[in-house]
Structure 1
Amino acid sequence: MARLLGIGEFARRSRLSVKALRLYERQGLLRPAVVDAGNGYRRYREDQLATARLVALLRRLDMPLSVVARIVAAPPDERAELLGGYWAGVEHRMAVQRGLAAHLRVVLSGGKGLVEMYDVKQREVPEQVVLTEQRHLLQPALVEWIDGSMGRLMRAAEAHGGVSDAPFIVYHGEVNEDSDGPVEACVPIGVAEPPSGVAARVEPAHREAYVRLTKAQVAFPQILSAYDAVAVWIKDNGHAVHDAPREVYFADFAAAGPDDEVCDIAFPMR
């Protein structure tokens, strides 16, 4: 029969406080093996120490109790994968917060260091025929609409020569909590002329200045620093903005990690 430990000894050996053990009992995360009906004394089996120590280590990662419970309840061969999934989310959140902190430093310093945050480059973009979808919407609805419109346009492109280059989003007006664009989703297709029966147009050849962003940097509002940096660079180098700014998505956004490059912020210029 397994040896039973009082709550005080169990707390010392598991490196958890008595208060924490009582909380985990109420949460159903770590229940005593025996609760004396007369005096309420709690006793734990000695073989519960491994679970208790695992809980203590997971909590040191600031892991919510709901996630701790999921890992503890999982079969041993699934626990590492669950931990990996949780930690990937933490790293993504931290990467986004780093970008937001950098954006706020620029805002609070009156724009100091803005251009130095990014490596602004130039390129020539050839004329393209694009399928398009346009919408007026506010920033909170933007990400969902981009995902949906890109999916629809890429499926439609299969009947018109296929996708020939990186899709992009054109901002014909500012999009935030108060301003609704409009925004235009564009998918280049492999044909010489806009096909009939679908929303399509010719995107003119142009020269553009751009910066490349990681997935974490694309988050709102820190992405606005990249727009500002390109606009300032264009002005400081004697150029002028020639057309609406755009986001060019050249990588699989869903599969990318927080530090993977996924998007260019670009301004056509002359």
Structure 2
Amino acid sequence: MEDVRVARLLGIGEFARRSRLSVKALRLYERQGLLRPAEIGEGNGYRWYGEEQLAGARLVALLRRLDMPLADVGRIVAAPEDERADLVADYWAEVEHRMAVRRGLAAHLRVVLSGGKGLVDMYEVKQREVPEQVVLTEQRHVLQPGLVDWIGAAMARLEKAAQAYGGVSAAPFVIYHGEVNEDSDGPVEACVPINPPTDSGDPTTAYRIEPAHKEAYVRLTKAQVVFPQILSAYDAVAVWLKENDLTIADSPREVYFENITEAGPDDVACDVAFPMR
């Protein structure tokens, strides 16, 4: 008489065919604890899978077609069903961000390896008048690997201090008074504009006057802000100034008119600007 319990199970070959996974993949996923057989034969070690496991196995197959790492696949498969869609959306948003960053890096490398050919064509350089501003400031010598973390922390401190002056009055910016890379540490100055201070305010936070000036700038997406491809934007503005017989009047800066943390990879988020005359 046929064993009813075994008849409800699928051998590894049939399960592989119906789940759209190879036998090799099934063995790998078993070792990873991602998709375990329902039963393993004691004498021959043969793997049996329950028919109810097909839906999960097909989900694994689809997720792997996204080139999703096994750790992420396991996290999604183990999650409650009502959370899986959001987890896939979060994963894919990160993939698109990485691809946008790589696309910008590839464009930067093409310019570097061609000796600067096509640099100005990568960006639209614009001009604007910037009024005098009172800014809360924090300055630090920092190498490139620690730059992003320092900027985020400094801006958070300055924006908190700005509340005592009625809040931030214009887009925060970062001024590079010297080159910043793995060997050179600036210095770098974080600036948060505020309304002209009265007797009230935070006496522990330095502020100064940023003079009115005219500047040339290019607008970047979040993906283009990443180092080192952002250097192409600095080079493009510098070349444009030279080609138009204009002079750099002060240190270059990055103006953050959007919350770069919340922006998507293709959202405009930052200007690279040079004061000029």
* Contact preservation (8 Å) 2:138, 2:189: yes
The number of equivalent residue pairs is 270
Taking a change above 3 Å as real, the CA distance of residues 193 and 245 of structure 1, as seen in their structure-2 partners, is farther
User: Counterpart in 1 of 2:162?
Assistant: 157
User: Counterpart in 1 of 2:127?
Assistant: 122
The match for 1:229 among 214, 236, 252 is: 236
The match for 1:269 among 264, 271, 276 is: 276
User: Counterpart in 1 of 2:55?
Assistant: 50
The match for 1:248 among 252, 255, 258 is: 255
What is the aligned-residue identity percentage?
76
User: Counterpart in 2 of 1:206?
Assistant: 213
* 3-state DSSP of counterpart to 1:69: helix
Mapped partners of 1:197, 1:71: distance in 2: 48
1:134 maps onto 2:127 in alignment: no
* Contact preservation (8 Å) 2:137, 2:192: yes
* Contact preservation (8 Å) 1:59, 1:68: yes
* Contact preservation (8 Å) 1:168, 1:246: yes
Ranges in structure 1 where 5+ consecutive residues have no aligned partner:
none
The match for 2:267 among 243, 257, 260 is: 260
* Contact preservation (8 Å) 1:51, 1:72: yes
Mapped partners of 1:198, 1:72: distance in 2: 50
* Contact preservation (8 Å) 1:129, 1:193: no
Taking a change above 3 Å as real, the CA distance of residues 197 and 13 of structure 1, as seen in their structure-2 partners, is closer
Mapped partners of 1:84, 1:111: distance in 2: 38
The match for 1:185 among 190, 208, 220 is: 190
Q: Could you list the runs of 4 or more consecutive aligned residues of structure 1 that deviate by over 3 angstroms after TM superposition?
A: 192-197
Ranges in structure 2 where 5+ consecutive residues have no aligned partner:
none
Query: Which segment drifts farther, 260-269 or 190-199?
Result: 190-199
Cα offset, 1:192, TM superposition:
5.8
Cα offset, 1:198, TM superposition:
2.9
1:238 maps onto 2:245 in alignment: yes
1:5 maps onto 2:15 in alignment: no
Q: Deviations over 1:12-50 (max 9, x none)?
A: 111111111001001111000010111101100112111
TM-score (norm 1): 0.97
Mapped partners of 1:167, 1:198: distance in 2: 15
Q: Deviations over 1:137-186 (max 9, x none)?
A: 10000000000000000110111232110000000000000000000000
Mapped partners of 2:152, 2:220: distance in 1: 18
* 3-state DSSP of counterpart to 1:24: helix
Mapped partners of 1:138, 1:40: distance in 2: 57
* Contact preservation (8 Å) 1:128, 1:202: yes
* Letter of the structure 2 residue corresponding to residue 232 of structure 1: V
The match for 1:109 among 100, 111, 114 is: 114
Q: Deviations over 1:182-218 (max 9, x none)?
A: 0000001101689755311100000000000000000
1:99 maps onto 2:104 in alignment: yes
Mapped partners of 1:44, 1:90: distance in 2: 33
